[in-house]
């Protein structure tokens, strides 16, 4: 997503929690392609997480563009702590998932609103799992459903400012997860899509870039299924 938006001319703040090397690699890749980006560290789900993000974000925007102003916010950060039967979900697991996947994007958006120009774009990344019953992923799906409520209600709230707010819901996407290297697992998940393959990051990034563009100015409050047909049944 960062590379795709940078390719469209955006100055991109690449947020990371722990993997500084990966963030810097993304920034360098963007720069090598002629784009502009800078890294920002903040670990969501910890005290002061949003303050840390915006301290680095505003400093980076001012340094690279001369003003701490935003046109696009993509709430993509999230965690998946693995399958857990409902009977085995602990309060600690529940609180951690909600803190990172639901609480953080709400307060990041809240803090971004004074910086976001009228006519701006907010894209929230949910999951196709909010439309499927998978008991082992109940808490994850709950946290992502909360993100969809941010979209729904803020789309109405921010309409007078011509700011669009939309949800993108990916299915299984090849982001380098270890379990996707197991051939049988990969085949099984690929067969759940209409196209017989797992999504590449670019399949999702292209949709995000469209929703962030001027061409999507008349779309707001939408849930965009980017699961490759996995929800067709």
Burial of 29 (0-12, 13-18, 19+ CB in 10 A): middle
Per-residue pLDDT, 94: 95
Model confidence at 197, in pLDDT bands (50, 70, 90)?
very high
- How confident is the model over 64-87, as pLDDT tens digits? 999 999 999 999 999 987 778 899
Per-residue pLDDT, 154: 98
Nearest to 77 by CA among 19, 26, 125: 125
Query: How many whole angstroms separate alpha carbon 78 and alpha carbon 95?
Result: 13
Please state the CATH superfamily assignment of the domain spanning residues 70-233 in this structure.
NAD(P)-binding Rossmann-like Domain (3.40.50.720)
Distances (CA, A) of 110 to 105, 116, 188: 8, 10, 40
Instruction: Write out the catalytic residue numbers.
Output: 140
Taking residues 109-126, report their average pLDDT: 98
Does residue 29 surpass a pLDDT of 90? yes
Residues of the chain with CATH 3.40.50.720: 70-233
Q: Return the percentage of the chain with pLDDT > 90, whole number.
A: 94
Per-residue pLDDT, 140: 95
Query: How many whole angstroms separate alpha carbon 218 and alpha carbon 50?
Result: 30
Q: Extract the tokens encoding 186.
A: 């990969």
Does residue 107 surpass a pLDDT of 80? yes
Q: What is the dihedral of CA 182, 77, 164, 131, to 10 degrees?
A: 40
Taking residues 224-231, report their average pLDDT: 97
Taking residues 44-55, report their average pLDDT: 97
Per-residue pLDDT, 52: 98
Does residue 176 surpass a pLDDT of 90? no
Please, which residues have CB within 8 angstroms of residue 71's CB and are 6 or more apart in sequence? Answer: 10, 116, 117, 119, 120, 121
């Amino acid at each position: 997503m960062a590379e795709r938006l940078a390719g469209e001319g955006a100055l991109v703040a690449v947020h990371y929690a722990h993997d500084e090397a990966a963030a810097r690699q993304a920034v360098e890749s963007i720069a090598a392609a002629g784009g502009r980006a800078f890294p920002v560290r903040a670990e969501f789900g910890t005290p002061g997480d949003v303050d840390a993000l915006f301290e680095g974000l505003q400093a980076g925007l001012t340094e690279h563009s001369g003003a701490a102003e935003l046109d696009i916010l993509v709430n993509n950060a999230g965690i998946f702590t693995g399958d857990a039967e409902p009977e085995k979900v602990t309060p600690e697991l529940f609180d951690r998932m909600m803190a990172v996947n639901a609480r953080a994007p709400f307060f990041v958006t809240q803090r971004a609103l004074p910086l976001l120009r009228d006519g701006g774009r907010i894209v929230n990344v949910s999951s196709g799992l909010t439309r499927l019953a998978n008991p082992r992923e109940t808490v994850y799906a709950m946290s992502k459903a909360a993100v969809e409520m941010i979209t729904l209600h803020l789309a109405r709230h921010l309409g007078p400012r011509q700011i669009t707010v939309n949800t993108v819901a990916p299915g299984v996407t090849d982001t380098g997860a270890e379990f996707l290297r197991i051939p049988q697992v990969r085949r099984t998940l690929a067969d759940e899509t209409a196209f017989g393959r797992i999504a590449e990051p670019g399949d999702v990034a292209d949709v995000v870039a469209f929703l962030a563009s001027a061409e999507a100015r008349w779309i707001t409050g939408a849930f965009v299924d980017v699961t490759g047909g996995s929800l067709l049944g």
